[in-house]
Structures are given as structure tokens and as C-alpha cells.
Structure 1
Amino acid sequence: MSTEAPESERAWPRLRVEDWTATRDTLHLWTQIVGKIRLTHAPLVNHWWQVTLYVSPRGLTTGSIPAAHRLFEIEFDFIDHNLRIRSSDGGERTFRLEAKPVAQFHAETLQALRGLGLDTEISSGPNEVDPAIPFAEDTEHASYDPDAARLFWEQLVQAHRVMGEFRSHFTGKVSPVHLFWGSLDLACTRFSGREAPEHPGGAPNCGDWVMVEGYSHELSSCGFWPGGGDEGAFYAYAYPEPEGIADDPVRPDAAYYSPENGQFLLPYEAVRTAEDPDQTLLDFLHTTYIAAADRGNWDRVRLEGDPSRWNHLR
């Protein structure tokens, strides 16, 4: 008799937040450095979509970044545990992801860019964290557990898959499934098409104007964050929040509305241990969106579509 774990349990890894908090916090700051490099070079796209990272087959990548007449890419490789920088003229620099201070990672990354003729200056410190130690001075955050980093990436792979399926049901304006390094969360955001009230801001060490751009239009957002539960949490919220949304029934039973966070939460472990993890997460994403769209009087007929609508002609 086989004792091998079911495929769903192998696909959705177990990673307790308390077991990798030091690595998570260091990696969070590393992603901020890389994200700020993209921010320096890429032209503004609405809601800061030009600064995010994307889940790749090996880790997290910036995708192509413009630099004069070239393109370059920075990728966290969580299989071989390298940071890899490649440019469109064939240049490449690589260094190890291992336990090292943020200050060292910062120096190594900028030196690698200089070696490729991509001199870059970024703002000196992190955003949306407190305290915000300048990158070049941060010797406090210096942890890297390669097994934990890979497991986190594997969590993101699964979340990305299912969120991509959810995204396909919307024909209106919708973001990519991408990782915002400010809070280290994988997100996908749908928009009603209407402008929103000016966001009040308030994120630590982050200008209010950043949030004004991010929340300039009415939205319903969902994502995964490696906090908020024993193994992380999926979330969903609307801005502006429609009256009464907290009272709407959502699925699965493990999902709940958090007044403290102003959003619906679903513990990652409730998805991981479900008989059908994909469907469990899809139930959460669809029902929380419906709550936001119905309470907010979105034109759902115009904004939604069946992703299989052409399958009969393929």
C-alpha cells in the first residue's frame, strides 16, 4: 500500500509562518530592492503595475525592464538559489541567494548592474514597513533558509494558477496576477470602470500619493499574503468598501470577514487541506467578488465573461 501523499497535498506545500519569519522578512526587503530597480527604469503604468514582480517557473522575476536601447531582467531563482540578471545584449550576472545582510545584497545587486553597464540609483529605504532601515545600513535582516524560500515560491505557484483561472472570468479592466513588494503579497484586481474617492493613505513609510494612484478607481482585489494565519492567508476586499459587505455569506466555511483588516480572509491551511484545494480557493475568490460587485452595483453583465466561450470552435 502506497504511503505517498495525495497530489494536492504535494502541490500545496505546508509552510508555517513562524518557521520562516526571519527568512520571509529578509526576502521581503530583497524584493523591495529589486522592485525599486524596476521602478527606476520603467515608465508609469496605472496603479503602479510597472513595478511588480511575477511568478516564474523558477521563482520571481521582474520581466523585461527597459534601459535606453536595451532590456534587462532580474530573477530570484528559488530552485538553484541565485539572483540572475540578464540583458538583451547577452550580458549576465549571477550571485548566490544565501544568508547575508540586506546591506550586502543591496551592494551586490547594484554592483552586478554596474558590471552590465546598467548603473542604477534607487531610494535608500523600504516602504510599507516600520522601522524602515536604509538598505545600505541594514545588517539586522540576514536570514535565508533555502528550503523555506522554495516552499514559499511553491505556495505562490499554486496561488498564481488558481488566481489566473479566476482572472479569466472577467472581461473588464483587470490587473495581471502579480506580486507587490511593498507588502509581499500576490494580487489580482478587478475594476468596475468608475473612479473612486481619493484614498487616505496611511501605509508606513509610504507617501499617501502612492495609495492615491493605486486606488484611483473602484476595485475588488484578491490575493495571497505570507502572514495573517498559521500558514499565510488568502484575502479579498473592495475599495471603496460597499455598505453591508461584511454581512454577505461567502464560501468556504473557513472564510470570514476581519473588521481589523477590512477584508475577507481564508487561511492558507484551509485550502491546502481541502479535498479539492483549487475549487475551495475559487469558491472564495468568486463569492467575495460577487459580494463586492453586487453591493457596489457593478455592471456585471458587461464586465464578466465565460473563458470557455470559444472552446466549441477550437
Structure 2
Amino acid sequence: MTQQWPRLDYLDWQDTCSALHLYLQVAGKYRLAHTPWINHAWHATFYVTPAGLTSSLIPDGPGLEIQFDFHEHLVVGIAVDGRRRSFALGPMTVAAFRDRFVQLISDLGGTPRFDGRPNEVPDPVPFAQDHRDRPYDRDAVERFHQALLATDRVFKAFRTSFLGKASPVHLFWGSFDLAVTRFSGRRAPLHGGGVPALPNAVAQEAYDREVSSAGFWPGGGGMDEPAFYAYAYPAPDGFRDAPVRPDAAFWHEGLSEFVLPYAAVQAAADGDAALLAFLESTYDAAAGLGGWDRDLLECRQGRPGQVRPADAEAP
């Protein structure tokens, strides 16, 4: 049984969305500074939870986890020795958020040292110098969380039909997107970099293998509405002209990616099926045109409680 997809209007909550993006960057920068590097920056991401988002365990001080609770609208820090601290999410400046976050980490026995500049945003202002008042729309944040939960559910189902290397379903705080990525197993050409406020070495390491990737943006970055996206790196010949589903999906010239407006999924009779069609058809285009070894990499979609037969053929 699928769940309802909530209404999202980026223009109605874009200032809150921008603030939440930067708050997650502060916490993400802390995780980045204290967690050993994992391929493709997977060590720095957040994960969707029933209450909001979590960093998972960070190896700093006694060991810490940072949670964004979108039910109670709190930032929560939990130490493995049982200590717990929190502060309220609400209207504030980024500088004030940073100060409260630093105090939370200190109170839990952690080391609040991390790079103080945002990534992947135009004209980045250091966190400690960002004194612009920011609103906080609780209802919009709760709807965003519901959209993340629904997206996470479908992305995880999609992930089960791939046997090769695949990323977790995780939220990147730089680009502020929930994403899942499949890998062909082959090396990719050196990426050109050029991502705003991001070292080229990070982008080049992220794309050092061939990928088919999909994700969800709440809006921003050239999109005035929430949307799902899909791309291949490197994009094989004919990729942009490949047939994709559902009918609302299209090739976005400015982004050089396939896009499916969130509104089309929200309005569909079966939103989960509409999104899964987008994920499967864009992957089919990337893997088919790119010459991936699909017999080796693919399997049927996972089913609860059923072991995948070891000799099962891909569908």
C-alpha cells in the first residue's frame, strides 16, 4: 500500500528551505571533519529517519550522533556515554545556529572544529558571519520530511534490484538532495570539476567511476519547484534522447539531466509507481546505451522475507 505524497510548494517555503540547507551544512561539516573518508564522500551524508534526519555515529569525543527531529523541531546530540543535549529549530540566523551547535558538541565532550564555509551554494557566506534573519516554517518542514520518507521508501525498493556497487540512499548536505547511485564497475573520465564552492578534487573523486544516479531536490539550484532527477556520468551517446517514463519526465537542457516534477508524482494515482518508472527507465537508458554488464549487475526487485535465489536471472 502506497502512502500519500504531501503537497510541496518550493516558492512558499524557499527561505526556510535555504535556512535548513545551511543548518545541515553546519552539522555536515562537523561530521566531515571527524569521520574517515569513504569513497564518493559517503561518510559525510545524512540518512532519513522516522523523525527526520541523522548523521549516524561520528567518531569524535565519546562518539556522537546528530539528529534533526522534524516532529519536535529540535537538533539533538546523543553521546554513547548517555549524555543528550538539544536546542530548538526556529527562526534564527545561521551564525546563531552555528553557535548553538558548537555549544551542543562541546557539552557532549566532542571537538567542535570544522570548516566554517558553505559548499555548493552561490556567493557563500561563512557561517559565523551570516547574520541574516531566517524564518522557520514548521508545517513546510514537516511536509518536506514526509516527502523524504516517501522518496526514501521508493529509492530503497529500486536499490534492491542491483547486485553491483550501489550507494546507500542518503542526503548530501552540499547540494541538498536525497540520492541513490549505481556503478558500472568501470573507471570514468576525469571530471572537470567547476562545482560552486567545492574543491575540484572532491568532485573528481566523487565521479571517478561510471555512474547512473538519481535523486530528489526540494527546489533551488535553478529549479523553482521540487523535482526528481536522473543522470549518467559519463553520459553515453543518445542518452538525452532516450525514451523515459512517465510522460511528465523530460530532458532539462540547463541541467543536462532528466527531470520529473515532484508535482507529477504527488498527483499520480500511484506516486510510488510513477517514481519507480522514472528510476527504472532512466537507468535502462544509462546502462543500455553505456554497455553495462547487465547480466552480472541486475536482479529482480527484493521482496520482504524472501531470499534472492543465487542463480536467479535478471528480469
TM-score (norm. length: structure 2): 0.94
Shift of 1:140: 1.7
Does residue 225 of structure 2 align to residue 223 of structure 1? no
* Separation in structure 2 between the aligned mates of residue 313 and residue 104 of structure 1, nearest angstrom: 50
Once the 2 structures are TM-superposed, how far is the Cα of residue 260 of structure 1 from its aligned partner?
1.2
Q: What is the rounded CA distance, in whole Å, between the counterparts of 1:82 and 1:311 in structure 2?
A: 38
Question: CA distance change for structure 1 residues 141 and 303 in 2, over 3 Å: closer, same or farther?
Answer: farther
CA contact (8 A) 2:160 2:302 kept: no
Could you tell me how far apart the structure 2 residues matched to 1:238 and 1:308 are?
24
- Is 1:201 matched up with 2:196? no
Contact 2:10 2:224 in 1 (8 A): yes
1:311 partnered with 2:303: no
Counterpart-to-counterpart distance in 1, 2:301 and 2:196: 39
2:149 maps to which residue? 157
User: 2:39 aligned to 28, 36, 46, which one?
Assistant: 46
Aligned residues: 306
Contact residue 157 and residue 302 of structure 2 kept, 8 A: no
**Percent sequence identity over matched residues?**
48
Q: Read off the aligned partner of 2:9 and give its amino acid letter.
A: R
In the alignment, structure 2 segments of 5+ residues that lack a partner are: 310-315
Matches within 5 A, 1:94-113: 94-113=86-105
Matches of 2:301 and 2:251 in 1, distance apart?
A: 29
Structure 2 residue 123 is the aligned partner of structure 1 residue 131: yes
1:313: Cα distance to partner? 9.1
Q: Which residue of 2 is the match for residue 183 of structure 1?
A: 175
Q: Structure 1: 5+ residue runs without aligned partners?
A: 1-6
Deviations 1:114-154 (A, max 9, x none): 11110221112100011100100101252211111111111
> Are residues 1:145 and 2:108 paired?
no
CA RMSD, aligned part only?
1.7
2:291 to 288, 293, 297: 297
Whole-Å separation in 2 of the counterparts to 1:35 and 1:100: 19
- Match status 1:281 vs 2:275: yes
- CA distance, structure 1, for counterparts of residue 96 and residue 268 of structure 2: 41
C-alpha contact 1:230 1:267 (8 A) present in aligned 2: no
Q: Distance in 1 between matches of 2:22 and 2:133?
A: 8
2:313 alignment partner in structure 1: none
Q: CA deviation at 1:251?
A: 0.4
Task: Tell me the equivalent position of 2:68.
Answer: 76
Q: CA deviation at 1:231?
A: 4.0
Shift of 1:57: 0.8
Contact 1:25-1:141 at 8 Å conserved across structures: no
- Structure 1 runs of 4+ with >6 Å offset: none
CA distance in structure 2 between the partners assigned to 1:292 and 1:251 by the alignment:
14
Report what 2:160 is aligned to: 168
- TM-score (normalised: structure 1): 0.94
Other structure's SS at 2:175 match: coil
Amino acid at match of 2:124: A
Partner SS, residue 200 of structure 1: coil
